[in-house]
Amino acid sequence: RSGTGKTTAIVTRLAGERAAFPDERQLFVARSAKLRTFVEKGVEAACGSARRPASRTARRPAGATRSRSQAGMGRGAAGVGR
């Protein structure tokens, strides 16, 4: 299914999450390195910032998690997490 906006939706969602929670790290999983790079560059362009260093850590204490609804992920979300 091409041209339905799936990638655009993911880029928009990840950019929004990055803006809402700037101190947290994100994980995007894709089988294709080309898709991963495309999404990474799209999120960076949407946020207007360079890639954050991997050494930054989230402020949430270890073991503390949010439910899917608190994270705004809803039902059926998979492959993207914090």
Average pLDDT for 55-68: 49
- The pLDDT assigned to 70 comes to 52
Question: What does pTM read for this prediction?
Answer: 0.56
pLDDT of residue 49: 60
| Closest by Cα among 72, 76, 75 to 26 | 72
Task: For residue range 9-29, list pLDDT tens digits in order.
Answer: 999 999 999 999 999 999 999
